[in-house]
Amino acid sequence: MMLRLTFWLALALYGAVYAALRLAIHPPIPASVLTIYMLLTAIAILVFVSADERRFTQFIAPLAAVFEGRAPRAARIAVLAVIPLAAAWATYVRVAPSADAPFELRVIHPEPPSSLSVHGRRVEIAGLQNPLRAKGSELDKPIREGKTIYYQNCFFCHGDALAGDGHFAQAFRPIPANFRDVGTISMLQESYVFWRVATGGAGLPKSATPWNSAMPVWQDFLTEEEIWKAILYIYAGSGSTPRTWDDEVKHDKH
Ligand code: HEC
């Protein structure tokens, strides 16, 4: 009786090993390791069933019945349908696009170029300061104007509270920068932020790839002054202060 069931017992054992490896081990083992284990399991089962001639005959009996046409028609059709369907499914699983974020290492704040072109004019980044701030004048008005610019252009992505959680934020990988996070604008100089806003995702250097930034090229839509005003606002609105070139000098002296 047991002998007659050899094929099905072998199949059940294979399935049980697979289930145990998949479900009982935490954290899950990598797919490549699982493949090796399943291959070894298959070999072990084949070695076992082929060690005894009677057992082996029983093992291949159901297969022989199907392929030699002795099994019931329905069983033969089922087997012939399952094989291509399984192949199709395996192919689909491999090529189907996934909504998961790809696991890629990328430079969050790549080295900026030494200069950038804004509206066709070359601007050196070293020493570049926000002209509105440099004047030392009253900042209330430009901040207010920057706020308008922000809510007309940036808030869809960077969010109502500047926390990188605007309406469209979840559609992007990477998600828009959270200006309240200490890891974003508060650790950057305004010149750097100006470069990022003016040239957007397209302005990121090749060395920063892979990077699929959705950040638009704002010099195509805003004047230089509007960009500086928006920058004033993202600092004021998020309660952060930019790093300055003075900090840099002090830092270097230490
Ligand atoms: C279409 C969505 C979108 C809009 C609109 C948008 N951004 Fe962005 N922004 C992003 C994404 C995504 C990132 C993160 C990837 C990157 O740094 O390029 C980003 C990054 C930034 C960064 C870089 C911050 C850092 O820590 O490096 C700044 C600064 C910035 N945005 C400012 C702005 C300003 C100012 C506006 C409006 C004038 C704006 N963004 C509008 C999507 C957007």
The stretch 168-188 carries a mean pLDDT of: 92
Atom nearest to 234 CA in ligand 1: 35
Nearest residue CA, atom 8 of ligand 1?
Answer: 215
- In the numeric block, which tokens belong to residue 61? 């009996």
User: Residue 11 pLDDT > 90, yes or no?
Assistant: yes
Write out the two tokens for 216: 């638009």
Instruction: Determine the distance separating the centroid of ligand 1 and the alpha carbon of 175, expressed in angstroms.
Output: 9
pLDDT digits (tens, 9 = 90+) for 102-116: 556 677 888 899 999
Tell me the CA–centroid distance for residue 136 and ligand 1, in Å.
27
Distance 158 CA to ligand 1 centre (A): 7
How many angstroms is it from 204 CA to the middle of ligand 1? 12
Residue 184's pLDDT band, with cuts at 50, 70 and 90, is: very high
Say yes or no: CB of residue 162 within 6 Å of ligand 1: no
Q: Other C-beta atoms within 10 Å of 192: how many?
A: 18
- The verdict on whether omega for the bond into residue 30 sits within 30 degrees of 0, i.e. cis, is no
CA distances from 113 to 189, 226, 249 (A): 14, 22, 20
- Cβ proximity of 240 and 178 under 8 Å: no
Ligand 1 pocket check for 110: Cβ under 6 Å: no
245 burial level (CB within 10 Å; 0-12, 13-18, 19+) = middle
Q: Is the peptide bond before 210 cis (omega within 30 degrees of 0)?
A: yes
pLDDT score for 247:
61
C-alpha separations of 145 from 135, 170, 224 in Å: 17, 27, 13
Contact (CB, 8 A) for 112 and 125: yes
- What are 35-90's pLDDT values in tens digits? 999 999 999 999 999 999 999 999 999 889 988 888 899 989 998 899 999 999 99
Cβ 155 under 6 angstroms from ligand 1: no
CB of 169 sitting under 6 A from ligand 1: no
How far is residue 169's CA from residue 83's CA, in Å, rounded to a whole number?
Answer: 43
Higher pLDDT, 192 or 209: 192
Whether the pLDDT of residue 253 is over 50: the answer is: no
Neighbouring residues of 168: CB distance < 8 A, sequence distance ≥ 6: 156, 157
* pLDDT category of residue 223 using cuts at 50, 70 and 90: very high
pLDDT confidence of residue 133: 85
pLDDT at 44: 96
Categorize the per-residue pLDDT at 195 as very low, low, confident or very high, splitting at 50, 70 and 90: very high
Burial status of residue 8 (CB atoms within 10 A of its CB: 0-12, 13-18, 19 or more): exposed
**C-alpha to C-alpha distance for 8 and 235, rounded to whole angstroms:** 68
Q: Which tens digit of pLDDT belongs to each residue from 146-177? A: 999 999 999 999 999 999 999 999 889 889 99
Task: Give CA–CA dist 19/35, Å, rounded.
Answer: 13
* Residue 104, pLDDT score: 61
